[in-house]
Structure 1
Amino acid sequence: MDTKTRARLRGEAQALDATLQVGKSGITETLVKELKAQLEGRGLVKVRLLQSSTHDEGKDPVAERLAEESGAELVEVRGNTAVYWKRKR
């Protein structure tokens, strides 16, 4: 993803509310399925990373693993929130 695209997506993400949460059970199959479904419909999804999900490995590795498992691109991690994007077909 180039810098211009990333900047545009970060701007669009400011108006979004987080629609998913990664809780203490971490990244589950259900969470990945729901993220994939939302990405197909919206293209851009904001996910809240609860502190209980990131205390072992940190928020960046958790966010990157979720992107990898869902087939999405990680736009940014800011605070406890991650933004994911998948190009619509």
Structure 2
Amino acid sequence: MTGKQRAYLRSMANTMEVIFQIGKNGIDEAILKQLDDALEARELIKINVLESSGMTPREASDVLCEKLNCEGIQAIGKKLVIYRQSRKKPKIKLIN
């Protein structure tokens, strides 16, 4: 992914609402399944990482990207943004 593509996705994420939280249970199979389904439907997701999870947003992003085969777009403060192009119906058109 190029810097321009990443910047474009970051700009899209600025106006998005957080739709998931990673809390004291950390990253378990249930949240992975929900995130996988949400990535397929939305492609770009903003996640809040609570302090009780014991992880930083960067660490959570790294784990999620490895397990869900997605791209970490941004990790700032308590929030992170991940992206994965939909296999069935791509919505976000990335410019080369």
Same fold, TM exceeding 0.5?
Answer: yes
Tell me the CA shift for residue 68 of structure 1: 1.1
Q: TM-score, normalised by structure 2?
A: 0.84
Tell me the CA shift for residue 4 of structure 1: 0.4
Q: TM-score, normalised by structure 1?
A: 0.91
**Counterparts of 1:1-89 in structure 2 under 5 Å?**
1-54=1-54, 57-89=55-87
Larger Rg: 2
> Is the 2:57–2:76 Cα contact (8 Å) retained in structure 1?
no
Gap regions ≥5 residues in structure 2: 88-96
Q: In structure 2, what is the Cα distance between the partners aligned to 1:12 and 1:74?
A: 14
Tell me the CA shift for residue 58 of structure 1: 3.3
Q: Deviations over 1:39-80 (max 9, x none)?
A: 1001100011001113xx533222210121112111010100
Gap regions ≥5 residues in structure 1: none
* Cα root mean square deviation, aligned: 1.1
> Is the 1:33–1:70 Cα contact (8 Å) retained in structure 2?
no
